[in-house]
Amino acid sequence: MANIGLYIELKNGIFKKSNRELLSLARKSGQRVAAVLFCQDVQPYMDELKGIQTVIQVKAADLAYQPDRYARTLAAVIREFNLDVFCGIFSAQGKDLFPRLAAKAKASLVNDCLAVDLENRRAVKPVYSGKLLAEYQVDGGTALFTVRPNVIAVEAAASAQAPEIRTVALDGGDLTTKIVSVQKSASQTIDLTEAEIIVSGGRAMKAKENFAILEDLAKVLNSGVGASRAAVDAGFASSDMQVGQTGKVVNPKLYIACGISGAIQHFVGMKTSKIIVAINKDPEAPIFKKADYGIVGDLFTVVPLLKEEFKKALS
Ligand SMILES: Cc1cc2nc3c(=O)[nH]c(=O)nc-3n(C[C@H](O)[C@H](O)[C@H](O)COP(=O)(O)OP(=O)(O)OC[C@H]3O[C@@H](n4cnc5c(N)ncnc54)[C@H](O)[C@@H]3O)c2cc1C
């Protein structure tokens, strides 16, 4: 039986939704599972952590995310707890932390996985901007995987058994790279990489103020608001809203593209969305070849109508 470790990501103390996907994947594997949390108190999270064997709490007076310290601590945890496989979320922090961890733990890393077989240390990930799916097998050493949000079905724990709690100290050594400040995005309340619904606007939005109509629809749908690079470059939207090759990779259940042509660089960032709806006034726009549903029309007419219809349907 393999020892599986999970890095449970807490954002300002909040348990990220994608952690539930990691936990579901690990519980289903039938292997021994240990979850690592950097926090002052694990009790608020114990309900989420039911049905696994061990919770490893990393403690220190200051637990602010510093990549060197987190990577060294996790490398030590992997050694001490003999972890064969260690998984995290393919989030902004996961992208920063796991390559460092791979170097410190001398482990192999497969990033941005769409499927992971923990027992056999295999994973499937997109390559060449999503044109191909490659299957990786990690032999020898600890296998590290980061999993793209919204790809694993969340299942409740089959057992209510409370895990054993172990504590380890945060590595307090020197920092070669130090995070001196983190600026919170002013535009987003919903993390696009974890959002279940995203309404995105392109160059056709014409002005920053016009994004208000997308925000109105987003409020009704409880969704995030994204943008194409053309909209970001034109100053209509902030860079953290950009979806695509040089922006965020998103994977919602529903992606509504408003006035976006469907360039490959945008498409690679949202192509795994379960349902794509395109609103475009040009019936020949390439996005219609990729969308599940298309509305040919002026977005300034269609989006407010959609908002009213969704409001009625959802009330
Ligand atoms: C290296 C590189 C990286 C890139 N990375 C990204 C990236 O990460 N993300 C990204 O998005 N792009 C990226 N791009 C840019 C990409 O190639 C496209 O230029 C960009 O996606 C186009 O944005 P758009 O669809 O909003 O604009 P356009 O291509 O100009 O399309 C606007 C669309 O709106 C429609 N339209 C106009 N008025 C209306 C209206 N009133 N109602 C409805 N529809 C209307 C038009 O018919 C048209 O289809 C990258 C490019 C390069 C070279």
For the segment 185-214, the average pLDDT, to the nearest whole number, is: 91
Rounded to whole angstroms, the Cα distance separating 168 from 93 reads 21
- Please say whether the beta carbons of 176 and 68 come within 8 A: yes
Under the banding of pLDDT at 50, 70 and 90, the label for residue 188 is: low
For the segment 202-221, the average pLDDT, to the nearest whole number, is: 98
- Please say whether the beta carbons of 237 and 262 come within 8 A: no
How many whole angstroms from 293 Cα to the centroid of ligand 1? 18
How many whole angstroms from 111 Cα to the centroid of ligand 1? 27
- pLDDT, one tens digit per residue, over 16-26 is 999 999 999 99
> Residue 286's Cα: distance from chain center in Å?
27
Nearest atom of ligand 1 to the alpha carbon of 228: 11
- pLDDT, one tens digit per residue, over 63-87 is 999 999 999 999 999 999 999 999 9
- What pLDDT is stored for residue 25 in this prediction? 98
Name all contacts of 118-121 with Cβ < 8 Å and 24+ positions apart.
118/2, 118/4, 118/25, 118/26, 118/29, 118/31, 118/85, 118/87, 119/2, 119/29, 119/30, 119/31, 121/84, 121/85
Question: What is the sign of the dihedral through the CA atoms of 57, 62, 67 and 72?
Answer: negative
- Please say whether the beta carbons of 170 and 38 come within 8 A: yes
The verdict on the CB of residue 247 being under 6 Å from ligand 1 is yes
Pairing of strands 3-7, 85-89: parallel
How many whole angstroms from 260 Cα to the centroid of ligand 1? 5
Closest CA to ligand 1's atom 28: 261
Rounded to whole angstroms, the Cα distance separating 223 from 225 reads 7
Size of the chain in residues: 315
Q: What is the mean pLDDT of the chain?
A: 96
pLDDT at 262 over 80: yes
Query: Which residues touch 146 (CB under 8 Å, ≥6 apart)?
Result: 87, 88, 89, 90, 94, 95, 98, 109, 110, 111, 112, 113
Closest CA to ligand 1's atom 40: 298
- What pLDDT is stored for residue 122 in this prediction? 98
Kindly report the number of other CB atoms within 10 A of residue 312's CB atom.
9
For the segment 11-19, the average pLDDT, to the nearest whole number, is: 94
Give me the helix-helix angle, 67-80 and 92-105, nearest 10°.
50
The verdict on the CB of residue 263 being under 6 Å from ligand 1 is yes
Burial class (CB in 10 A: 0-12, 13-18, 19+), 188: middle
- Please say whether the beta carbons of 102 and 144 come within 8 A: yes
The verdict on the CB of residue 280 being under 6 Å from ligand 1 is yes
Under the banding of pLDDT at 50, 70 and 90, the label for residue 131 is: confident
Q: What percent of the chain has pLDDT over 90?
A: 93
Best residue for ligand 1 mutational test, from 229, 239, 248, 282 (most atoms within 8 Å of Cβ) = 229
pLDDT at 189 over 80: no
Best residue for ligand 1 mutational test, from 261, 279, 299 (most atoms within 8 Å of Cβ) = 261
Rounded to whole angstroms, the Cα distance separating 199 from 243 reads 11
The verdict on the CB of residue 245 being under 6 Å from ligand 1 is yes
The verdict on the CB of residue 5 being under 6 Å from ligand 1 is no
Under the banding of pLDDT at 50, 70 and 90, the label for residue 185 is: confident
Q: What percent of the chain has pLDDT over 70?
A: 99
- What pLDDT is stored for residue 183 in this prediction? 83
Closest to 252 measured CA to CA, from 5, 18, 6: 18
pLDDT at 187 over 80: no
For the segment 280-306, the average pLDDT, to the nearest whole number, is: 98
Closest CA to ligand 1's atom 7: 244
Closest CA to ligand 1's atom 31: 261
- pLDDT, one tens digit per residue, over 87-117 is 999 999 999 999 999 999 999 999 999 999 9
pLDDT at 184 over 90: no
The verdict on the CB of residue 248 being under 6 Å from ligand 1 is no
Q: Supply the pTM of this predicted model.
A: 0.87
Q: Amino acid identity, residue 160?
A: A
- pLDDT, one tens digit per residue, over 223-254 is 999 999 999 999 999 999 999 999 999 999 99
The verdict on the CB of residue 120 being under 6 Å from ligand 1 is no
- pLDDT, one tens digit per residue, over 43-59 is 999 999 999 999 999 99
Under the banding of pLDDT at 50, 70 and 90, the label for residue 154 is: very high
Choose the weakest-confidence range: 38-47, 152-161, 227-236, 262-271.
152-161
